[in-house]
Structures are given as C-alpha cells and as structure tokens.
Structure 1
Amino acid sequence: MEHHARFEDALRLDPASHMPLYLQLEARLRHMIESSQLRRGDAIPAERELASMTGVSRVTVRKAMAKLVHEGLVVQKTGAGTFVSGRFSQPLSELSGFSQDMRARGFTPGSHWLDRQHAMAGPDEAMALGVAPGTRIVRLKRIRTANGEPMAVETAIVTARDLPDPYLVQDSFYAVLRARGLVAVRALQRLRAGLATQQEALWLHLKQPAAILQIERRAFLADGRVLEVTYSSYRADMYDFVVELRSSDPTP
C-alpha cells in the first residue's frame, strides 16, 4: 500500500492542462527517475495499476511507457514487468561538460580523483592539442559519478598556460576554464565501441567482459585553438549518445 501511495502522490495528472495526459504521465515518471525517487532496477507498477492510479486508459499508459522505453529510461522484460534501467541519453549536438549534464538531469555529479599532475606533452598529446612535443601540460584523470554511481573514467589534458594549477579543478573542469575566460565554442567527438580493461572494470563496477563507449573529444576556442582534449570510457550499460539527423533534401 505504501508503495502504491508513493506512485499515486507523484503521478497526479491535471485533466485541465493543455498537455496531453500521456505526456503528463511520462513527465512525472521521468521526474521520479531523474530525482532518484526511482532507482536502477526498481519496478514500475503494471499497466493496469498505473491506469487505476491515474484515472486514465491503458492506451494512455502504454503511450507514456513507450516514450520512456524508447529513451532507454525503463526496460520491459517479458513475464517480469517494467523496470528502471538507469540509462542516460546525451545529445551529441550539445557541447556540455559532465557536471553540467548531470545537474540538468537532477543528478549530483561527483569525482574520485585518480591523478592530477603537470607533465610534458608526448607526441600524441602534442598532436591532439596542436602544440610542440615537450610543451608543459596538465593531466586530470578521474572517475566520474552520478549520485555516487560510477559512470565513466575520464582523462583530460590541457596546456599549463590555460590551467596552471591542476588542483583548481575540484568539480567542473569547464567551469574553471570559463572562470579563466576560456570558453569552448565547438568540439569534435569520436566514439568507438570497446571492452573495458581489467582496471576500468574495477573502477566502473563492471563484470568482465564488459562493453564500454570510448570517446575522444577535442574542444576549440573561438579563434580555432584547441582548448582541451578528453579521453573517456563510459559504461555502455548506462549511457546512450543520441544525435538528431536532418535531411539535406529540402523536398518534403
């Protein structure tokens, strides 16, 4: 009863609203997931129960659930029910840092630092940053978390000219750069599928063999100079990257 009461309170719909009922229901369930009222693995009430709680038809419930399934927030298991998947979807068309992205979803971003150091750029790092080999750089390596759960292993490199002290970064890397007047206006990202190494699996709480998304990002300033390069390994069981495609043919 207490379990049902929690859903009934959170899923109250407004029949007078201009928003369709299925979108209201979808939005309220999404809020429960993104605010951690529902966590990964939690069960969603059956279609009939949701219809009874909210006073809408099962067709309306089905449409709301279909949207959540399509976006990867819930998963339907035949014979078992519907469960929160805990997956995250990030549009590839938006340039934002991990902390900004997590806060926009209502999650608390965090980091477990693995390394923060000055170094001399090796040949590959120098090429990625567009500087001479041996240029003084800063490397920042950490495990990125959302509500305490590990999501990615991230290594960022930036010149010491742009970030003289690696310990300036406590939370958001981009926020520190912005405070120094350095704002990325565009970025190039390369995504590859891969398998987690033994160490990555340990950091990300994965059982091997485990799939990961390997991402390389180069962010640029308005004058075209490379600001930073970040190499990340994201949990493939938790993260989706979404891109909107538009036709080049103007004919309807």
Structure 2
Amino acid sequence: MNAESLFQPETWHRPGQGPRYLQLSRHIGRAITEGTLQEGQQLPAERDLAELANVSRVTVRKAVAELVEAGLIEQRRGAGSFVMGSAPKTEQSLSTLVSFTENMQARGRVSTSRVLDRGLFPPSPDEIMALGLSPSVSVARIERLRSADDTPMAIERSSLPSDILPDPEAVETSLYAVLRRRGQAPSRAIQRVTAVNVKGADAQLLCLPENTAILQIDRTAYLDNGRPVEFTRGFYRSDIYDFVSELRPDGG
C-alpha cells in the first residue's frame, strides 16, 4: 500500500469515533504493528502527511506525538519521523506468584501505578463465584494502569474480600506489599491466559491502536488454607510483554 492510499481520509477517519488526531494515530500505529509500515521507514513530512490525510498540520503533529509516546515512532532532529523497531519484551513467569512491581524491580526498571478507580462495592456475580462471597458482603476493588519507565504496559482490575483489604486507599503501588503487611498475601494462584483485542478507553490508556491484540490474564489467588482472596483481570501489551512457564515431567 503506497502513502497516498495509506493516509487517505477514507482509510482511517470515521465520524463520531473520536478526535481526528487519535484516529490518525491509531491508524498509523495499526499499520506499524501489522507490518504495513516497516522498521526504519520514514513517514511523509508533516506538510505532506497533512495534505494526504486532509487534516491540519496541528492534527498531524498531535497524532505523531501519540505514536512517539507509545514508542512506535522516533523523531530525528532535521531528518523526520521514522518507524521504530520492536522494543525488547519483558518476561514474567506464569509459574511464580510475583507482583508487577517486584517483577519490574528485579529487571532494574522503575514501575509506577496510576489508580483509575478504587473503593468498596457490592460484589458482582463473577466476584461472588471467584471469591466465594456472600451477596450481602462488600468487595474491595482497585483498578490500576501499570507502567515501567513511563511506558504503559498493563491495566489490572483486582477484587478482594473487604476483610482482606478493608481500605483500598492503602494501595499505592504494590497490592501484594499491602497484603504482606497484613499477613494475608496469597501463596498460590490459578491463571488463565486469553488473546483479546483492546478497545475504547483501554486502548487509549495503553497507547495502542484500537483492536490491537493483547493478552488477558484472569488470576485467582489463594491463601495457604485454600481461601480465595484475590481475583484480578489484567490486560497486557503483547508487543512488549511475554509470559513464560516452565514445564516438567510429572514423573508418571
């Protein structure tokens, strides 16, 4: 696909689907992740791209800024904007119960958490099933955007019985650090990994084009006595995150 057809408005603009700069940014990001735009390839100059896409140069500038923030485009002074190569992926074992914060610290990376929502709520049917709760008790929820070195990597939505986490406001960065201080950290977990396409607000939070493939991981964690104390549904960027597991013979 040549530049003229790739950036034409009819290929990326949809009325009512958000600001033009975001739609253009997601379109270019999708072209990069799908390989239509290759590593090292130069984008058209700002003026040329604005003309091809039939938008203002300000719109182009904002779209490219989104791609730079997502690590998909590199701007070289005096040379232009170029497609970046894939960053080295971050590995996390599926066989070890470790928090996002601890995993990043072990790799020498600076982890941050942005709390999107938290509080005590009536439990949903899924939470009642996963945590073995009575419908009459409350559940603690905390939703966080997890980043490493300022790069958004995951959205995690965690639910816990309110007697395990009576004050969701106590969680700033690491949920497991709070649970350890209370003597109620889980000792094992069951995880289910699914491939999904990111949409809407989640795509914006992760700086990804809409419908990009990501990993959904549902984790139910248990205390030593078998009580389920955490249900987390996480959405992880598959372009920079790898989950690995070690398999051994069962001896049978």
The TM tier, using the shorter chain, reads 0.5 to 0.7
**Partner residue, 1:142:** 144
Mapping for residues 63-102 of structure 1, pairs under 5 Å = 85-102=87-104
Structure 1 Cα separation of the partners of residues 129 and 105 of structure 2: 33
- Post-superposition, which runs of at least 4 consecutive aligned residues in structure 1 deviate over 3 A? none
Gaps of 5+ in 1: 1-40, 43-81
Mapping for residues 149-188 of structure 1, pairs under 5 Å = 149-188=151-190
- Most deviating of 241-250 and 134-143: 241-250
The alignment's C-alpha RMSD in Å is 1.9
Residues 100-158 of structure 1, C-alpha deviation per residue, up to 9 Å, x if partnerless? 11101111111111101110112211111111123211110010001111001110001
Residues 217-242 of structure 1, C-alpha deviation per residue, up to 9 Å, x if partnerless? 01100000011111100011111111
Asked if the contact 1:195/1:210 (under 8 Å) is kept, the reply is yes
Relative to the length of structure 2, the TM-score reads: 0.65
Structure 1 Cα separation of the partners of residues 230 and 250 of structure 2: 31
The one-letter code matched in structure 2 to 1:95 is L
- Most deviating of 84-93 and 216-225: 84-93
Asked if the contact 1:126/1:135 (under 8 Å) is kept, the reply is no
**Partner residue, 2:235:** 233
Give 1:83 deviation, angstroms.
Answer: 5.5
Structure 2 Cα separation of the partners of residues 152 and 141 of structure 1: 11
**Partner residue, 1:128:** 130
Structure 2 Cα separation of the partners of residues 218 and 248 of structure 1: 23
Structure 2 Cα separation of the partners of residues 243 and 162 of structure 1: 29
The one-letter code matched in structure 1 to 2:238 is A
Give the 3-state SS of the residue equivalent to 2:233 in structure 1: strand
**Partner residue, 1:224:** 226
Mapping for residues 30-45 of structure 1, pairs under 5 Å = none
Gaps of 5+ in 2: 1-38, 41-83
Structure 1 Cα separation of the partners of residues 162 and 250 of structure 2: 42
C-alpha spacing 1:167/1:198, structure 2 compared with 1 (3 Å): same
Structure with larger RCO (C-alpha < 8 A, sep 6+): 2
Structure 2 Cα separation of the partners of residues 208 and 122 of structure 1: 27
C-alpha spacing 1:248/1:138, structure 2 compared with 1 (3 Å): closer
Number of residue equivalences: 171
Structure 2 Cα separation of the partners of residues 245 and 159 of structure 1: 32
**Partner residue, 1:72:** none
Structure 2 Cα separation of the partners of residues 236 and 176 of structure 1: 28
Structure 1 Cα separation of the partners of residues 249 and 166 of structure 2: 44
Q: Percent of aligned positions with the same letter in both sequences?
A: 42
Asked if the contact 1:122/1:134 (under 8 Å) is kept, the reply is no
Structure 2 Cα separation of the partners of residues 115 and 134 of structure 1: 22
